[in-house]
Amino acid sequence: MSDDRWNLYLFERHDRQQIAQWARRLRYFRFCRAVGGHANDGDELLVAIGLQAGADLADVCAALGIVLEVVAPGSPQPVPGVAYTAEEFGRFASIVPGSGGIRQPGFVELAGQPVYAHVQADRLEISLSDAGSPYEVTEAAVRSAERVEALLAPLAGRLIDPPRTSRHCVCPAHYPDMWN
């Protein structure tokens, strides 16, 4: 995609000045533009916390106030290659990879703000979008992110920046001019 087309897409919902202003206000969260198309994703504010092996996930989640649940051993899990209806698939517990049965945190509250927390092999990602639309980032979402950032300050040395390595992520590495 040409730079002109990309900029039209990146700044389609919020102009450059608005996104730059949000970027400078937020210390840890980054505005990430949706991939779009058939990805069924939305714009979000995203932060990633690096994880190491072992009990690190439990320690990080405890520091943030995220309660982890253990899924009962032998709980049904989807079988690769088998088709399920949405209702059937929704009954399976989403498990953190390599955790031995810890349920993905999913939708939780941090600092009284609704967020989505998802664990990958080496990171915990926390995303925020507008409460009225999970596909939009608004001023209200930025204010929520500012509240959550107070909880993230003790973990600042573990944050992964950028949380996504693509130009969809507005961060100093991809858009240094927005921090001037």
SS3 content of the chain, % helix, strand, coil (to 5): 35, 20, 45
Measure the CA–CA gap between 113 and 144, rounded to whole angstroms.
Answer: 6
Give the whole-number percent of the chain exceeding pLDDT 70.
97
Measure the CA–CA gap between 29 and 143, rounded to whole angstroms.
Answer: 11
Task: Give the pLDDT confidence score for residue 53 in this predicted structure.
Answer: 74
Tokens of 76: 């049904």
pLDDT at 160 over 90: yes
> Got the DSSP string for 91-159?
TSPPBPTTSSSBBP-EEEEETTEEEEEEEETTEEEEEE--SS-TT---HHHHHHHHHHHHHHGGGGGGE
What is the CA 26 to chain-centroid distance, rounded?
15
Per-residue pLDDT tens for 60-108?
999 999 999 999 888 888 999 999 999 999 889 999 988 889 999 999 9
Task: Give the pLDDT confidence score for residue 132 in this predicted structure.
Answer: 79
Neighbours of 153 (CB within 10 A): 9
The more confident residue out of 40 and 38 is: 40
Q: What is the mean pLDDT of the chain?
A: 91
DSSP state at residue 56: H
Measure the CA–CA gap between 152 and 7, rounded to whole angstroms.
Answer: 31
Task: Give the pLDDT confidence score for residue 9 in this predicted structure.
Answer: 82
Measure the CA–CA gap between 58 and 124, rounded to whole angstroms.
Answer: 11
When pLDDT is cut at 50, 70 and 90, the band that residue 37 belongs to is low
| Rounded average pLDDT over 136-156 | 96
Tokens of 165: 């390595």
Task: Give the pLDDT confidence score for residue 146 in this predicted structure.
Answer: 97
Q: What is the CA radius of gyration of the chain?
A: 17
When pLDDT is cut at 50, 70 and 90, the band that residue 38 belongs to is low
Tokens of 162: 């950028």
Task: Give the pLDDT confidence score for residue 1 in this predicted structure.
Answer: 58
Q: What is the pTM of this model?
A: 0.90
